[in-house]
Amino acid sequence: MSKENKYCYDYPRPSLTVDCVVFGFDGLSIKVLLINRGVEPFKGKWALPGGFVRMEESIDEAAARELKEETSIHSIFLEQLYTFGAPERDPRGRVVSVAYFALINLHHFNAMAGDDAQKAQWFSLQDFPPLAFDHAEILRMAVYRLKGKIRYQPIGFELLPEKFTLVQLQNLYEAVLEMPLDKRNFRRKMLSTGLLIELNEKDMRSTRKKAQLYQFNQEKFNELSKKGFNFEI
Amino acid sequence: MSKENKYCYDYPRPSLTVDCVVFGFDGLSIKVLLINRGVEPFKGKWALPGGFVRMEESIDEAAARELKEETSIHSIFLEQLYTFGAPERDPRGRVVSVAYFALINLHHFNAMAGDDAQKAQWFSLQDFPPLAFDHAEILRMAVYRLKGKIRYQPIGFELLPEKFTLVQLQNLYEAVLEMPLDKRNFRRKMLSTGLLIELNEKDMRSTRKKAQLYQFNQEKFNELSKKGFNFEI
DNA sequence: GTTAAAAGTGTATTTTGTACACTATATTGT
DNA sequence: ACAATATAGTGTACAAAATACACTTTTAAC
């Protein structure tokens, strides 16, 4: 059981895995990253990146490690979602899985993963293949969490490049919430949080009018959070 | 690993436990139910009720079973909170624990548990003993969840008897949120949800003016929830 | 019947949310 | 060079919700 085995109870026990729901945003819609399984069970099927938790690592560490091993993704927003433990969820036997919820911006992903992760592919949330195990249920819960959380935590910025325009930010919110938002009201509300740094630059990618660039003010958010400030959009 | 062992991977694996944070309300303050441990490690210390997950049961079932075994409590509000998996959280070795979050009203508890659960005791959240393992951290997260959730989900009713007065309900909210609330605003807001059934009875326990009794309208809440209604206090 | 304890009630003000349409700027095409 | 076009950016009126605030009613105890 462990080096310090004073009170060992050797009950039969479930295996423990982690599974990561990684969301990305391409400017138009939210995508989820799936892996084509190379081994049985569900060989050839699409699944969430994940794997077994090792004895010496925390489950947070296991999630980060598996994500890196399977997709080359590292150093991104990653938090625990929910633990799935129905007895028959895995045909290999009793496997309990701690699901994680991750956000990445696709430019960051392309830089990091490159052609490294051939088995990984982004899928639209409106149109994705059948998933292995109970991963469809995990994905459903992750989408629900994302929709809920983006309204009261400034996590949307994790899905955008460091410098972004208000139009990009609004497109992101509209994609996540699956509803149109009023441009003027959205801008007023977002700017009134005081969490956007207005940069001395314009967005050079546009072929039309250049948009103002902003950056998320993480320090200010941390500071305000301590004082009980609540982000709400 | 299991009867159907086609793809068995026999990695060393963590043990899996469940721990339940049970909250009760005595009319004045929120209490948490703790168990005095009869066995090592932490023998004689106070801990959250919980125990090992069995091979054939889901983790939800394990939480309900352990709660019943250790405190005689059954059929109460019980939902998953978070999974704790730091490698050194248990001196017995690698033990990952799925924490649950439960609400019960104390009259219900007394009827159910009676003198059965001598080892169990209610403690104030302001003044509780040192806890075994990382249970203080689990409790901290449960309190945080309770405070957050009571504002956007009608879970407070789980802590009250079936029939309650608005004064009782307000006292509960004030105890959970640790802040005074305005009586008239609270009543208006609560009644405007349409989720309270006004009963044709008065509270007979008071020796002064009798208060109107209400009951939570679960069916109406279910119905409204389907239509995207949001409870908010 | 006076007192005391607890329940119950309404309004004015401030803040926040919502609905809504045009102007400004930079590039493209002629 | 100028007209057309695509995108960014801007303000106000109205409705709804949150907040602040103090007295009256009821019932039992004495």
Q: Over the stretch B110-145, which tens digit does the pLDDT of each residue have?
A: 888 766 567 899 999 999 999 999 999 999 999 999
Summary count for chain A: helices (H), strands (E): 6, 9
SS3 B103: strand
Residue A189 Cβ < 7 Å to strand C: yes
Residue A173, pLDDT above cutoff 70: yes
Residue A153, pLDDT above cutoff 50: yes
* Contact (Cβ atoms closer than 8 angstroms) between residue A66 and residue A79: no
The string of pLDDT tens digits covering residues B51-108 is: 999 999 999 999 999 999 999 999 999 999 999 999 999 999 999 999 999 999 998 8
A86/B contact by beta carbon, under 8 A: yes
pLDDT at B10: 62
Q: Tell me, what's the ipTM?
A: 0.93
- Work out the average pLDDT over A137-143: 98
A134/B contact by beta carbon, under 8 A: no
**Residue A180 phi/psi, 5° resolution?**
-75, 145
Smallest Cα–Cα separation from A95: which of B117, B67, B5?
A: B5
Cα A92 → chain centroid: 27
What is the rounded distance in angstroms from the CA atom of residue A116 to the CA atom of residue B12?
A: 29
CA atoms within 13 A of residue B1's CA, in its CB half-sphere: 20
Query: CB–CB of A13 and B53 under 8 A?
Result: yes
- Work out the average pLDDT over B204-220: 95
What is the rounded distance in angstroms from the CA atom of residue A145 to the CA atom of residue B231?
A: 17
Confidence of residue B3 (pLDDT cuts 50, 70, 90): very low
The string of pLDDT tens digits covering residues B16-32 is: 999 999 999 999 999 99
- Other beta carbons within 10 Å of A225: 13
Report residue A11 as tokens. 């009950």
Residue A230 Cβ < 7 Å to strand C: no
Domains annotated for chain B, with CATH where assigned, are: 15-149 (3.90.79.10), 161-226 (1.10.10.10)
How much of chain B is helix, strand and coil, in % rounded to 5? 30, 25, 45
pTM of the full structure: 0.94
Residue A61 Cβ < 7 Å to strand C: no
Nearest to A55 among B8, B53, B94 (CB): B94
Residue B167 Cβ < 7 Å to strand C: yes
Smallest Cα–Cα separation from A91: which of B1, B61, B12, B15?
A: B1
What integer best gives the mean pLDDT of chain A? Answer: 93
Residue A1, pLDDT above cutoff 60: no
* Contact (Cβ atoms closer than 8 angstroms) between residue B49 and residue B21: no
Query: CB–CB of A40 and B6 under 8 A?
Result: yes
pLDDT at A3: 41
| Separation in Å, CA of A71 to nearest CA in chain B | 22
| Separation in Å, CA of B8 to nearest CA in chain A | 6
HEC-encoded secondary structure of A105-139: EHHHHHHHHCCCCCCEEEEECCECCCECCCHHHHH
Q: Which of residues 212-231 of B touch strand C (CB under 7 A)?
A: 212
Amino acid at B170: Q
Query: CB–CB of A93 and B8 under 8 A?
Result: yes
Q: Which one has a higher pLDDT value, B91 or A12? A: B91
- Other beta carbons within 10 Å of A31: 22
Instruction: Please report the DSSP string for B127-180 in residue order.
Output: B---BSTTHHHHHHHHHHHHHHHTTTS--GGGGS-SEE-HHHHHHHHHHHHTS-
pLDDT at B72: 93
